[in-house]
C-alpha cells in the first residue's frame, strides 16, 4: 500500500475501514476509489456500491510520476512540504491571485489541515481527486472550482472547513482578525449585505477570538 493511502486508512475509524475493505474485496477497486465513493455517499455502504458501479471513472486517472514532478517544483527546499513560497509559485503558475477565494476551494479539495501549507499527501491526493496532473489541466479546472461556491451545500462545507484550516495550530478558537478576514472573503461570494456591520460589531463589542459555535451559527443566521 502506498504511504499516502496508508495514512488515509489510519485516519478512518474501524467501521469506516471495514466498509472500505468490503468495497475493495467485492469490486477489486483501489482503496483510494473506495474511500472517495464512501465519502461522496456519506459512508452509506449500499449507496457507495451503487455510486461505484455508475461512475466507472472514479479510479484515479492521473499520472503519479507527473504529480511527483509537480510536488518537487513547489515543495520547500528545507522541508518535505509545500509552504508559503511554494503556494505562491503554484498560484502564479495557475494565474490566480494567492488572495483569491478559489485558493480556499483548492485547500478544501486537498483536505489541507493548515492554511498556507500542503503536506505531500494532501497535494498528491488532492490533485488525484481533482483528476489533474499538469498545470494546464489544473488551470482549466479553476472555473469549475470557483462555481462550487454557488452551490449551497458545498459552500457550507467550505465554510465549516475554513474554521480549522485558518486557526493557529494548537488553538481551539479562531483569532478575531483572521475570522473577520475569512468572513469578508466568504460572504463577498454570498453578497450578504450585513457583513460589514457584523464585522464591525464583533471587532468593537466582542473583541476576542471566535469560537467554533459562533463561527457555525453565523452561517445558520445568514
Domain CATH number, residue 18:
1.10.8
- Distance of alpha carbon 55 from alpha carbon 39, whole angstroms: 14
What distance, in Å, lies between the first and last C-alpha atoms of the chain?
A: 44
Q: How far is C-alpha 1 from the geometric centre of its chain's CA atoms?
A: 23
Q: Which residue has the cell 445568514?
A: 222
Please name which of 103, 91, 217, 215 lies closest in space to residue 164, comparing C-alpha atoms. 215
Last residue of a domain, one of 58, 80, 95: 58
Check whether residue 82 and residue 142 sit in a common domain. Answer: yes
- Distance of alpha carbon 160 from alpha carbon 212, whole angstroms: 9
Spatial contact of 118 and 81, defined as CB atoms under 8 Å apart: yes
The three cell numbers of residue 13 are 475509524
CATH of the domain at 179: 1.10.238.200
Check whether residue 140 and residue 162 sit in a common domain. Answer: no
Q: What is the pLDDT of residue 1?
A: 43
Q: What is the pLDDT of residue 9?
A: 67
Taking all residues of the chain, what is their mean pLDDT, rounded to a whole number? 90
Q: What is the DSSP letter of 59?
A: S
Last residue of a domain, one of 127, 148, 169: 148
Check whether residue 43 and residue 31 sit in a common domain. Answer: yes
User: Alpha helix locations (H) across 55-168?
Assistant: 64-74, 84-94, 102-109, 120-130, 135-147, 152-166
Between the CA of residue 189 and those of 24, 100, 161, 185, what are the distances in Å? 39, 11, 16, 7
> Model confidence over 93-115: pLDDT tens digits?
999 999 999 999 999 999 999 99
How many domains does the structure of the chain reveal?
3
- Distance of alpha carbon 207 from alpha carbon 189, whole angstroms: 25
Last residue of a domain, one of 131, 148, 165: 148
CATH of the domain at 68: 1.10.238.10
Check whether residue 77 and residue 129 sit in a common domain. Answer: yes
Q: Write down how long the chain is.
A: 222
Between the CA of residue 202 and those of 130, 177, 193, 197, 199, what are the distances in Å? 37, 10, 16, 9, 5
> Model confidence over 15-68: pLDDT tens digits?
999 999 999 999 888 888 888 889 889 899 999 999 888 887 777 678 889 999
Q: What is the DSSP letter of 191?
A: T
> Model confidence over 133-186: pLDDT tens digits?
999 999 999 999 999 999 999 999 999 999 999 999 889 999 999 999 999 999
Domain hosting residue 201, numbered range: 151-221
Q: Which residue has the cell 509552504?
A: 83
The pTM of this model reads: 0.77
Check whether residue 76 and residue 138 sit in a common domain. Answer: yes
Check whether residue 20 and residue 87 sit in a common domain. Answer: no
Q: Which residues of 51-81 are buried (b: 16+ CB within 10 A; e: fewer)?
A: bbeeeeebebebeeeebeebbeebbeeeeeb
Amino acid at each position: 500500500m502506498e504511504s499516502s493511502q496508508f495514512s488515509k486508512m489510519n485516519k478512518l475509524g474501524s467501521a469506516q475501514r471495514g466498509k472500505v475493505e468490503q468495497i475493495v474485496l467485492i469490486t477489486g477497486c483501489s482503496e483510494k476509489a473506495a474511500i472517495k465513493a464512501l465519502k461522496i455517499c456519506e459512508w452509506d455502504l449500499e449507496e457507495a456500491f451503487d455510486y461505484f458501479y455508475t461512475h466507472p471513472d472514479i479510479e484515479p486517472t492521473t499520472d503519479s510520476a507527473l504529480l511527483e514532478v509537480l510536488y518537487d517544483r513547489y515543495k520547500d527546499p528545507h522541508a518535505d512540504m509545500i509552504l508559503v513560497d511554494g503556494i505562491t509559485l503554484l498560484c502564479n503558475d495557475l494565474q490566480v491571485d494567492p488572495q483569491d477565494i478559489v485558493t480556499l476551494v483548492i485547500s478544501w479539495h486537498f483536505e489541507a489541515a493548515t492554511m498556507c501549507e500542503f503536506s505531500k499527501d494532501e497535494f498528491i491526493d488532492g490533485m488525484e481527486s481533482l483528476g489533474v496532473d499538469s498545470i494546464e489541466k489544473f488551470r482549466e479546472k479553476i472555473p469549475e472550482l470557483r462555481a462550487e461556491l454557488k452551490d449551497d451545500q458545498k459552500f457550507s462545507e467550505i465554510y465549516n472547513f475554513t474554521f480549522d484550516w485558518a486557526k493557529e495550530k494548537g488553538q481551539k478558537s479562531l483569532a478575531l482578525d483572521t475570522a473577520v478576514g475569512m468572513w469578508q472573503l466568504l460572504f463577498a461570494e454570498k453578497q450578504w449585505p450585513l457583513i460589514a456591520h457584523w464585522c464591525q460589531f464583533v471587532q468593537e463589542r466582542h473583541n476576542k477570538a471566535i469560537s467554533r459555535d459562533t463561527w457555525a451559527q453565523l452561517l445558520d443566521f445568514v
